[in-house]
Amino acid sequence: MKFNLLDSSKPQFQKKLLATLKSYLDYSDIDKIVATILNDIRKNGDKSLFFYSQKFDNVKFTSPNEFMVTKAQLKKFEKKIPTDLLLAIKAAYKRVTNFHKKQISKSFTFRDDLGNEMGQKIVPIESVGVYVPGGTAAYPSSVIMNVVPARVAGVKRIAMVSPSSNGKVNDVVMAAASVVGVDVVYTIGGAQAIGALTFGTKTVNKVDKIVGPGNAYVASAKKQVFGTVGIDMIAGPSEIVVISDGYTPARWIASDLFSQAEHDTNSRSILISTSKPYLKEVFNEMQILIDKKTRKKIIMESISNNGIFIYAKNLKHATEIANEIAPEHLEISTRNPKELLCNIKNAGAVFLGKFTSEALGDYCAGPNHVLPTSGTAKFSSGLSVDDFIKKINVLKITKTGARKLSNITNTLAMSEGLYAHGYSAMLRK
C-alpha cells in the first residue's frame, strides 16, 4: 500500500487535493450499452428481459413464474437462514424503523388575515421499485435501508429486483425482503431490471420511483430513466473521511478506513489529523492488519490509488477540509467531537466519538446508510421518508381574498406580459 500524504500547510495543497479527488472514471461506453438495453425492454418487454437475463446473468427464463417471488413465498426463506442471522435482520429492521418514524411529516392548513385557507397535503408515492445486488453477494442491509423509509412513508406497493446467480437466489436477501414486507421480488438485475420497473412488461408492473444501489450499468440506467420515473440518487464509489486528533487507537481508525476500502477498488478512504506521527502510526497498523483481510487485494488497491492521509494545522482547519470533500461518511474521532460538529456543513452522515464506527451506521444504528457520494453532500441528503412522499399545496381563496390578491396578481402578470393570467384573476374581483 502507498502512503499518500498531503500537508495542508504546504503551497498548492488545495490544488493537489482537488486533483486527487477528481474522478477520472469514464462511463460513456456503458451509457451507450445501457441505452440499447433500455430501448429493447421498452419495445419488447419480457422477451428482451429474458434475453438479457440469459446473456448477463446466465439464467434462462421460460415463464414469469420462474422469476417472480410472492410475499407468501418470501416467508419461507426466513426458515432457510441461521436463526442468529434472522434475529439480527429483525433487530436492525426494528431500529431503522424507529428512527425513520421520527421523520414523518404531517399535512397542515392555516388561515391568513383575509380568511384564505392554505396548506400542504402529504401523500405517499404509490409504487416503488428497490434494486438490491444479489447473486453470490448478500446485502440484507440494502433491503432494510431502502424499504423501511418507503414503508414508513406509506407506499402501497414495493417491488424488489435482485438478480439470481445461475438461477439461484440469495436466501439472506430474500429473508430480509420478507421481514421488511416487500410485496413481490423479481429475480432479475442489471439495466434490464431498471428498464422493466420503468416501462413495465407483461410480467413486471411499472413503478413511480426506483431506489437502491447497483453497479455502473444500474447507475447509468437510473440516470437515463430519470424523468420517466423518480430515482433516489446516482451513487458513486463509497467513501469515508476520518478526523482524528490521535485520541482514538490507531488500529481502530485503520479498521474504519478499511471498512470502506473493502467495498471497491474505487472506494476512497481519507484520514485527516493534526499529528503527522499519528498519520504514520495508522498507516503502519494498516500494513499489519492487511494480511488478515479476506478482501486484501481490493483494499490494497483502493488505499494505494484513492487513500489520502492529510495533515491539518488544527482541528478547525480539519473540518474545513472535510467540508470541501463533502464525504458520504464523516467520522469525528476526537476527544471532544461535538465541539467540531457545529463547523460541519457538508456530509452525508456524521459519526461522533471513538466508539461510533461507521460500520454501525451501515447496519443497525438507525439512520439510513443510503447517502450522497462524490461531493454531492454539498447539495443533497441521505435517503429518508421524505423521498417517498409528495407534498401537494392546497388553496381555498375567499371572496375578500380574491379581491385583494387579484390586484397583486394582475400587476405582476402584466409586467410579465401574461395578460390572460391577470384577466383570469380580475374576473373574481
Q: What is the CATH number of the domain that holds 144?
A: 3.40.50.1980
Q: What SS3 class is residue 27?
A: coil
State the burial class of residue 337 (Cβ atoms within 10 Å of its Cβ: 0-12, 13-18, 19+): buried
Q: Which residues contact residue 297 at a Cβ distance below 8 angstroms, ignoring those fewer than 6 apart?
A: none
Residues 102 and 243 both lie in one domain:
no
> Cell digits for 402?
380574491
Has residue 272 got a pLDDT over 90? yes
Residues 201 and 59 both lie in one domain:
yes
Residues 78 and 180 both lie in one domain:
yes
How many other CB atoms are found less than 10 A from the CB of residue 367? 20
What pLDDT digit, counting tens, does each position of 321-330 carry?
999 999 999 9
Q: Is residue 36 part of a domain?
A: no
Q: What integer is the mean pLDDT of 10-35?
A: 85
Better pLDDT: 294 or 402: 402
Domain count within the chain: 3
Last residue of a domain, one of 231, 260, 290: 231
User: In degrees to the nearest 10, what's the CA dihedral of 40, 43, 49, 50?
Assistant: -100
Residues 212 and 129 both lie in one domain:
yes
Cβ–Cβ < 8 Å for 269, 306: yes
Cβ–Cβ < 8 Å for 126, 159: no
Residues 323 and 208 both lie in one domain:
no
Residues 60 and 125 both lie in one domain:
yes
Range list of H helices, 154-239: 171-180, 190-199, 216-225
* Strand locations in 219-281 (E): 230-231, 239-244, 268-273
Lowest mean pLDDT among 58-67, 260-269, 289-298, 345-354: 58-67
Q: Is residue 258 part of a domain?
A: yes
Cβ–Cβ < 8 Å for 216, 193: no
Has residue 15 got a pLDDT over 80? yes
* Confidence band of 167 (pLDDT split at 50, 70, 90): confident
**How many angstroms separate the Cα of 72 from the Cα of each of 151, 177, 380?**
18, 11, 37
Q: Which residues are catalytic?
A: 328-329
Residues 71 and 162 both lie in one domain:
yes
Q: What is the pLDDT of residue 21?
A: 84
Last residue of a domain, one of 231, 250, 277: 231
Q: Is residue 32 part of a domain?
A: no
Q: Is residue 202 part of a domain?
A: yes
* Confidence band of 136 (pLDDT split at 50, 70, 90): low
Residues 195 and 287 both lie in one domain:
no
Q: Is residue 273 part of a domain?
A: yes
What pLDDT digit, counting tens, does each position of 91-102 carry?
999 999 999 999
Has residue 80 got a pLDDT over 70? yes
Q: What is the pLDDT of residue 19?
A: 85
Range list of H helices, 22-170: 28-44, 46-57, 71-75, 83-101, 140-153
Has residue 57 got a pLDDT over 80? yes
Q: Is residue 33 part of a domain?
A: no
> Cell digits for 259?
471498512
Q: Is residue 288 part of a domain?
A: yes
Q: What is the pLDDT of residue 420?
A: 97
Name the pTM for this structure. Answer: 0.93
Residues 227 and 240 both lie in one domain:
no
Residues 195 and 254 both lie in one domain:
no
Residues 217 and 359 both lie in one domain:
no
Q: Is residue 116 part of a domain?
A: yes
Q: What is the pLDDT of residue 52?
A: 94
Q: Which residues contact residue 366 at a Cβ distance below 8 angstroms, ignoring those fewer than 6 apart?
A: 95, 96, 98, 99
Q: What is the pLDDT of residue 24?
A: 58
* Confidence band of 168 (pLDDT split at 50, 70, 90): confident
* Confidence band of 391 (pLDDT split at 50, 70, 90): very high
* Confidence band of 137 (pLDDT split at 50, 70, 90): low
Has residue 411 got a pLDDT over 80? yes
Residues 325 and 198 both lie in one domain:
no
Range of the domain at 349: 5-25+236-378
Instruction: Quote the mean pLDDT of the chain.
Output: 94
Q: What integer is the mean pLDDT of 125-151?
A: 92
Has residue 62 got a pLDDT over 90? no
Cβ–Cβ < 8 Å for 385, 102: no
Last residue of a domain, one of 199, 231, 263: 231
State how far the Cα of 95 lies from the Cα of 237, in Å rounded to an integer: 26
What is the 8-class DSSP label of residue 291? G
